[in-house]
Structure 1
């Protein structure tokens, strides 16, 4: 993690804020702007001057207000509890924000993307003494009746499993400890954070080899879509693109629909 840095605003132009005295900050660091704690991201650095993309309304900001880097890149939370959630573009849970601030969500309001208090039943897949590395499954959580969440060792981490647990626990509680080759212990939790600009590692990519039955005869007959493939619906305003999306979300042969 990078060191935190504090600076001050010297320019505001729409969603772009320029701040100086940010020498210890790094490109793509998350920052909090002004006392309103508006969230933003450093998109350009020149010396100690940072250009910041602010993801909230910047009306009322002015030169001299402070900017604080959080010393880490913009990241998302990966854990049981994401299925069924409603999030904005920076993974703020809109249903919880409404509870905190009402229907008119104020600037600077934030909440954890994943419920920290809910307890999930963790079923271990490994035993103490087993050697594991990044991507290995240490246990599972039944997130919904259709979805089994697999808790994996974070990428780049390896070691020997110690103190594996079973039963109800929150996403922040350690499900096990990993003894690294240097002798240190690292806790493994159901909650893992991942930078949004870094691609997730994978072992193999599966080639699409089966059709996705959409339930729309014209699409399935003339424009078949593969499971794991991609498709696009071009068209002008009012041509029915969103209607087709709704039909696909309702009738396609899929277990999970992510609507953006």
Structure 2
């Protein structure tokens, strides 16, 4: 289990998160939704120890994450931030291979397992044809998928994604969300900050809504109604039937 208990966190003494309690369970996709600046990115950063909680606790498998070294955390939690910068000179394949670094010693060379994980990640994100390409020559969507592939190659129990579909066209957005759902079916715990409510309805096991640094509630997709969305986003919503038994939500 990866959990936050009454967590406060922020930057430069300015609070962002206020008394957040939340858990990510193995075998689920947890969607984080809320307006810009609601604390979704900070919460993901706190859950992997990148941002330290000023109050409260973040625990990974029962251990305080603040007392764990980065290698130990990285072997259990993969994190893809919203913004990323690539160093010039690296090829896509090399970037994805970096996801295996937490499993290697200081001078250890990648082995067969590492290479297999990289191949699987490249295939999952449909990056085989650009594997030899310098990352600085990628499109925004390709760069996003390279970051996601690196996290897949890391092969951790928990995966945290900050707006994983933000730079993607519709087909690749669905590809990524299908892969996140597949990770959950494999028993991994997945959390993703999303702005697309309908993607959350379709793929998430639970939806956590944040506003002004506070957790307003956690719901199963079928429990979310117009009132919940209007409270969070301060705009009216309506629902319409979607494919099968699903629903689609629209701001109006």
TM-score tier by shorter-chain length is under 0.3
Higher-Rg structure is: 1
Which structure shows the bigger proportion of residues in helix conformation?
2
Which structure shows the bigger proportion of residues in strand conformation?
1
